[in-house]
Structure 1
Amino acid sequence: MSSNEGKLLPRNVTAHRRLSSAITGKQNVAGNPASSRLESGVGNCYPGLECDVRNLERRFVPFIEMDVVAIVSEINVVAVDLNAALQAARAGDITSADFDVYETLSSDLGEGLSLSVSRLEGTFGVLGDLAFDLSELNDKSFGANRKPPDSWTAVRMLTEGAPLKVSFAREDGSTVTLNTKRERYLDDEGALSSIFLPGEMSQSLCSPWTHDFRDCGCHYWASNHPDIVQPIYPAGGPGVENQKWTVFVPWQRSDRVISPKPPPSAGPFRPPAEEQLDHHEINHRWEELHIVINARETTMPFEPGVAEGAPLPDRATLLRHLRYAAGVELAVAHEYLAAAFSFRPDDDPSLAGAEELADSIRAARAEIMRIAIGEMRHTRAVNDVIRAISPPGTFDPALRVADALPKPGGGYRPVEARVASRAAIDDFIDIEAPSAGVDGLYIDILATLQTPPPDMPEGVAEEWAEAVSSIIAEGEDHFQTFLDIREWLGAFQENQYLRNPAAERPDVAQPDHVALQTAYLGILEDLHTGYAKGRFQGAAEINEARRDMVGAGLSALASAVAAAGFIVVFDAVADPRFEPVSPP
């Protein structure tokens, strides 16, 4: 495991990369979501998730495959690889007496006779050296000289490579004993050993899995097991911004016809059962379900778009870009908050009886607030990256707000707090567009972390490249959400959904504005103190700032400014720790 502060990274690599190095083997593969990576796995030991690690213990004895049944403390022999045992005997890796045991076990299985483990003798981790019959295990384990509670726990505790004596009970009542060592599950590259067959780690998962697509909500499975998707485009389909094709529809819908009109929306609730493949249909028609990439169904070959970044020359340049990136996150959060508080409040008299308008305002406000909070999380993530790659003792939190934002195609525009006008929403779409704006800002940073300069600390860049990749991925969600917001608000005039389309900045002495600035400065102070202390030591200050940001405090103060007819603005702070930062 990694010793980097705060994050545990597995050093094992997946089986298909067994022959690559631990560094070059870790690559994102098109079509594999982040949830398929080892560091994203839940690692649960029970069926129903992406793997069942109990299957490791099926091969704890070399050349023998067994089923370990913990409930009744049984270990039953399933197969013996006699050819592999013979090769080991010829190579001198096992004795002729031990090969005779393998031969006896293989012969019994060939005759259809049952075999089970009756006794184990070996080193059982913290329990030390033990010898016991499986019949002695009674689901209890406590006190001095205790034994494991069951057969699976016993096998799980065996020390890798330690001497092991296994006795097998034959159907005729006799016993044969094998002297061996507990098998290794990983090879020298950290991948699963070649003893495990493809599919063996997942063979005991939920069956049939297709029923789970039918009955489980979208938060149960990983992202590559969807229940709602964007529909497949018709031939010569519309552009990416045609909103009627961005509505989510049931993935397992029974009507699989691709037509010029999109299928009915899945809606806010589970689609009616009659519109979906039933439990029997989905087992027979599963091949009709379309491949889903980036939330959209497709029947065409997929070629991922590649945004090539230019690695920065050295650590100092990378740090300057990261500090500006943190400032951009703060700046767009300012703009989004100004827009969110410019909507009419839920109790506005003009919304009485206008249910569609009220719902659109409520949804747009909530989504913009969600994105603004997401930008603050990104600010935290960027500060974590800066801390990790800064020379020891030099970290200074990056909380200076950018004074200019990157534009698609190059150049910059000034930061502008304003109401959620159509022009503002269009600018938000541009700033969040894939490979442009905020997203494009991180491309060179990511390229640098993937190909670090010589003066970067060894092993650090690879870890934090994943954090930057996550920021880029979330930017794509923000882009799509702003497209949705534009669609929701497009049916109404600006004066219908805005408090005051012509709202202006408040005077610096306006009382509500002054109270908001005081609270804002307090949040910056807490964040600076918390970030400076570290990811864990500064938790109290960071949590306090989070409560102030998302709780009633800041929200009430910003609402008061908006209710007074002004734009919610956060003034530049003269303190050097928080003063504006310009593009590098």
Structure 2
Amino acid sequence: MNDPTSASVDLPVPEGKIFPRNLTARADHVVRGNPSGSRPESGVDNCFPGLEFDQRNLEKAFFPGLTVDFHHASGSRVLAVTGGVAAAQGITDADLDTGTPQDPQPLYLWAVCGRTTVDQAEEDAPVFHATERTGLELWRRVHDLLPGRVAVVLGRTPGSTSPGAFWLPDDDGLNVRRMAGRNEVGRDDDGVLEWAVLIADRARYLDPDGVIDPDVYRPGDLTRSLCAPWQYDFRECGCYYWAASKPDISSSSDGVYRNLNFQRRNRATDPPEPDIPTIRGRSAREFDHPALIANWNVLPVVLNGREDDSMELPDWSGLKPMTRAKVIHELERLAVVEHALCLEYLYAHYSLNAPAVLDPAAHDPATPEGARVRKIYAAAAEVFSVAVDEMRHLRWVNEMLATLGRPLRLEPPRPDTVIQLQTGRRFELKPLTPEQLDWFIAVERPSAVTADPQGIDGMYVKLHETIVHRPELFPEADRLAHLIKLIIDEGNDHYHRFTAVKEHLAELSPDDYLRPLRTDPDTPLDVQLVELSALNYTMLLGALEATLKRGDTAGGVLIEQARRTMFNLHELNHLLASHGVAPRFAKLPAAPVPAGEGAIASASGSVSFPESGPAHAAGPELGDGQAVLAAARACVAVRQNIDALAVDGVRAMMTRHQADTEALIAAFSPR
């Protein structure tokens, strides 16, 4: 805390009030010393090399009076003597390089000693030896130094091959010298500096006004060595980092050769040179920084994971643009189609005879049975991931309808729902036979391959073109175009995922990977599980609709409840499939239950549903929360019935799911 300073603020400051001493934070003008892009409080990623500034350049002055460069693999080199204890001990810039241009003899940082965590006592401060460390690795230790006394050892040998501080006597080690404040400089008979031990308090970096000290850091010091130009960033950063959208590993244009290093220097071999798994070996085969800056234009475009400059969308410029009413009509149809595809993919996933979770120990790939199970599991995982994407597409299409002021479309698809207009293909839940898999591949085939604007992907492209080029009809164009583009991009990925499924199952017959699924449960447990699955499906649709209706006001709480319900539904259906029972995607048709009245009970104490297929009986609207509450409360009675059966392994699932259901009831109950 600081005492109030006269005339420093507009209003009186209470005694002991905490107020900013940082001149930069309080200034109404740009303060010399802190460029706007280098202020740590506003930085996205201030590290090495960083986006705003390189922290190695900040810590170059960690030891007062010395300037140290941490950027090199051979070690950390002392670049300048600017005063402090080094100058007081007679060290000057002339001591920094005593060799010749042919044989330079620079001065390196050999060791650092100081506290890096608050629980370390002064007498136990660690010593970090530069031996076998790059400059970057030693910088990590310097970066962690706490304010207080620090000792450094300097010497002529590059830090990575130096003796560190090990050559100091054990009874007179570096930390003992640090605590005693014993500086020492060693020179040979000719007065040439050979080594030095220096002690000082870690630098603060800021001047008394809270500004990065302009006497220590000159303009450009903090931002040198950033990711600039962009090719440096492109070369330096790998997967899931900046720039995250760049490819690291790609396939050949025909898809035959995979795992190619996108930045490989040798691009003339046929077949192309495959990538290798080691970082150092890979780096040696890539364009280095200067080569990438000079030759970036030889890198091909990568579309759908393949290197191909020739790929482009078909020309549909001659198609007649749609009206606003037609766009809305198509989106309403596509909402039902996305829902239908999601259920078809889920059903196909459950039809595969694969475990819900793969046990690596139980399925050794070296054995025929282990290899078989792993192939089926890999195929099942791909199909499920596409089904999850389709649920997300259902959400996005409904977001577009809400943006256009239209009612949501989340009702389950009817048996007469047409998925593909040009073939008349209707919605039907089928196991993943080879014929069904071919259908999935066909329906997800990108329009750039088929040049068919009437396909699902082609229809989204046509919608996108209409919305973008007719802003007078669509003032909501920015939001709509963004959501459509997301669906188009994921649709391209679905095509490749299903072709991968075909590869996983290519050497197996349907008898090897399909499980028979019956529509009617024949045990008391399966009867209850089917009813519970249908209740979860109802809760899922209701939570999703309530979230979309409330928009930003939902705060993410309801969408989280929908997500949990979706995975509980998935776990239940997996259990049913393992019993040979097909999942039943049915909406709750009964009237809502008043609070406190328990479940909508049948004679057995559970919920009554149609024998098979989606339900369409009249019932409460999903979005008003009543159907969700009714289904959630009904789940309690069904779980009680299941618990009474005392089936091993199922009770724990019921307990986990009940906690999620209680959270959903709390979210939807009136406050």
TM-score normalized by the length of structure 2:
0.49
Deviations 1:140-171 (A, max 9, x none): 89xxxxx774589xxxxxxxxxxxxxxxx9xx
Change in Cα spacing, 1:300 to 1:379, as seen in structure 2 (3 Å) is closer
The reply to whether residue 205 of structure 1 matches residue 235 of structure 2 is no
Deviations 1:420-450 (A, max 9, x none): 2211111111111112643123133223321
Name the % identity.
25
Q: Which residue of 1 aligns with 2:532?
A: 515
- The offset of 1:493, in angstroms, is 1.1
How far apart, in 2, do the equivalents of 1:48 and 1:472 lie? 36
Change in Cα spacing, 1:292 to 1:47, as seen in structure 2 (3 Å) is farther
How far apart, in 2, do the equivalents of 1:377 and 1:206 lie? 35
Q: 2:480 aligns with which of 448, 464, 482?
A: 464
Q: 1:313 aligns with which of 311, 323, 337?
A: 323
- The offset of 1:471, in angstroms, is 0.9
- The offset of 1:488, in angstroms, is 1.4
Give the AA of the match of 2:393.
H
How far apart, in 2, do the equivalents of 1:277 and 1:362 lie? 34
Q: Which residue of 1 aligns with 2:303?
A: 294
Q: 1:225 aligns with which of 238, 243, 246?
A: 246
Change in Cα spacing, 1:222 to 1:416, as seen in structure 2 (3 Å) is farther
Q: Is the 8 A contact 1:334 1:569 kept in 2?
A: no
Uncovered stretches (5+) of structure 2, i.e. residues with no partner? 1-41, 62-203, 587-613, 624-671
How far apart, in 2, do the equivalents of 1:438 and 1:345 lie? 30
Give the AA of the match of 1:218.
C
The reply to whether residue 271 of structure 1 matches residue 277 of structure 2 is yes
Q: 2:400 aligns with which of 385, 389, 399?
A: 385
Give the AA of the match of 1:206.
C
Deviations 1:208-262 (A, max 9, x none): 97776676432124355321001244xxxxxxxxx634x3333244653442x56
How far apart, in 2, do the equivalents of 1:544 and 1:377 lie? 15
- The offset of 1:414, in angstroms, is 0.9
How far apart, in 2, do the equivalents of 1:148 and 1:384 lie? 48
Residue correspondence of structure 1 range 412-431 to structure 2 within 5 A:
412-431=424-443
Q: Which residue of 2 aligns with 1:443?
A: 461
Q: Secondary structure at the match of 1:400?
A: coil
Change in Cα spacing, 1:263 to 1:566, as seen in structure 2 (3 Å) is farther
TM-score normalized by the length of structure 1:
0.56
How far apart, in 2, do the equivalents of 1:293 and 1:244 lie? 15
Q: Is the 8 A contact 2:363 2:371 kept in 1?
A: no
The reply to whether residue 400 of structure 1 matches residue 411 of structure 2 is yes
Change in Cα spacing, 1:507 to 1:412, as seen in structure 2 (3 Å) is farther
Change in Cα spacing, 1:446 to 1:263, as seen in structure 2 (3 Å) is same
Deviations 1:156-214 (A, max 9, x none): xxxxxxxxxxxxx9xxxxxxxxxxxxxxxxxxxxxxxxxxxxxxxx9963269777667
How far apart, in 1, do the equivalents of 2:509 and 2:235 lie? 41
Q: 1:533 aligns with which of 550, 553, 568?
A: 550
Q: 1:334 aligns with which of 343, 353, 361?
A: 343
Q: Which residue of 1 aligns with 2:157?
A: none
- The offset of 1:474, in angstroms, is 0.9
Rg: which structure is higher?
2
Greater RCO structure (CA 8 Å; 6+ sep): 1
Change in Cα spacing, 1:423 to 1:226, as seen in structure 2 (3 Å) is same
Change in Cα spacing, 1:453 to 1:278, as seen in structure 2 (3 Å) is closer
Q: 1:481 aligns with which of 492, 497, 503?
A: 497
Deviations 1:329-377 (A, max 9, x none): 2111101111111122337999974333222222222222111111111
Change in Cα spacing, 1:512 to 1:396, as seen in structure 2 (3 Å) is same
Uncovered stretches (5+) of structure 1, i.e. residues with no partner? 1-41, 56-67, 73-136, 142-146, 153-168, 170-201, 234-242, 580-584
Q: CA RMSD in A?
A: 4.3
In the comparison of the two structures, how many residue pairs are matched? 382
Change in Cα spacing, 1:400 to 1:535, as seen in structure 2 (3 Å) is farther
Q: Which residue of 2 aligns with 1:248?
A: 259
- The offset of 1:319, in angstroms, is 2.4
Q: Secondary structure at the match of 2:301?
A: strand
How far apart, in 2, do the equivalents of 1:504 and 1:274 lie? 55
Change in Cα spacing, 1:292 to 1:443, as seen in structure 2 (3 Å) is closer
